[in-house]
Amino acid sequence: MLVEGSSIKDLSIVVPAFNEELILERNVNRLVKFFQPLLDCPWELIIADNRSTDKTAKIGRRLAESVNGVRYIYTDRKGVGAALKKAWSSCSSDILCYTDLDLPFPLENLYTLCETISAGYDIAIGSRYVKGGSYHTNMGRKFLSRLYSYWLKILFSCKFSDHCGIKAIKREAFLKLMPLVNSDDWFFGTELLIRAEKMGYAVRELPVHAHNDSHRNSKVKLFRTMWDYVRLSFKLRWELWWK
C-alpha cells in the first residue's frame, strides 16, 4: 500500500565515475551543497570509481577525507552496472539512488525520485518522454533514444517510457533483483527495470528535464552502445521466454 507524505529517513546517492577528473570535485560539491540543507536524516554520497586511469581516484579519496558524508569506493570490474552493484551493495540506507556525474538532470528531479520511494514505491525512474519531461540534445541522439524506447515496449511490453541515468530504488528491492541482473554495463538500468516489472514491483515514472553538454566529449559510443542494447535485449527476451 502506498503511503503519501512520508519523509526520507535515510539515503545513499551514488555517482559512477570513469575518468572524471575534470568535473568530479565540482559536481560532488554541487550535490553536497544541494542535499545537505534538504535532508534532516542520515545520508551519504558515494563516488563509485569504475577503473579510472586519470586522477579520479586521487580526487575521490581526497573528497572522501575532506567532505562530510562523501565516501569513495573502487571497482575493478568495468561498466556502470558493475559500479552500481558494488556501491549499492555496500549501503545500509533504505533508499538508494544514482545520477550520472555530469548532472544532466536538475537535482530537484533526483530529490523527487527519492521522495517517491519514501512514499512507498519500490523504484522511481526519470523519464524525458512523459508529459512534463524534456530532452535537450541533438536530433540524432533523441531519435535513437526514442527508437530504443519503442523497441523495448514491443519486445517486452514494458510500461516505462525511458531508461535514462537517474533512478531511485528501495534497498530491499535492489537486494532481491541484483542476483538476477546480468549486465555490468549501460544495459544494467534497462534490465533492472524489465525484471522489476516482471516481478510485480511498484515502479513510478516521473518527468525529468535532461540536457547534454555540447562541450563535453561523451564516454558513450552511441552506435556501439545501441547495438549492444539490441543484442542484450534479445538475449534477455530469450531468457525470459523460457522461464
- Rounded mean pLDDT, 82-99: 97
Task: Assess whether pLDDT exceeds 60 at residue 214.
Answer: no
This prediction's pTM:
0.89
How much is the mean pLDDT over the chain? 89
- Rounded mean pLDDT, 118-128: 95
- Rounded mean pLDDT, 223-240: 82
Task: Assess whether pLDDT exceeds 90 at residue 14.
Answer: yes
Task: Assess whether pLDDT exceeds 50 at residue 213.
Answer: yes
- Summarised one tens digit per residue, pLDDT across range 57-77 is 999 999 999 999 999 999 998
Quote the CA–CA distance of 15 and 18 in Å, as a whole number.
10
Specify which of 140-154, 199-213, 223-237 reaches the highest per-range mean pLDDT: 199-213
Q: What is the pLDDT of residue 217?
A: 57
Q: What is the pLDDT of residue 215?
A: 52
| Structural domains of the chain sorted by starting position, each given as residue range(s) with its CATH number in brackets | 11-241 (3.90.550.10)
Q: What is the pLDDT of residue 223?
A: 64
Q: What is the pLDDT of residue 136?
A: 83
Q: How far is CA 144 from the centre of its chain?
A: 19
Q: What is the pLDDT of residue 231?
A: 86
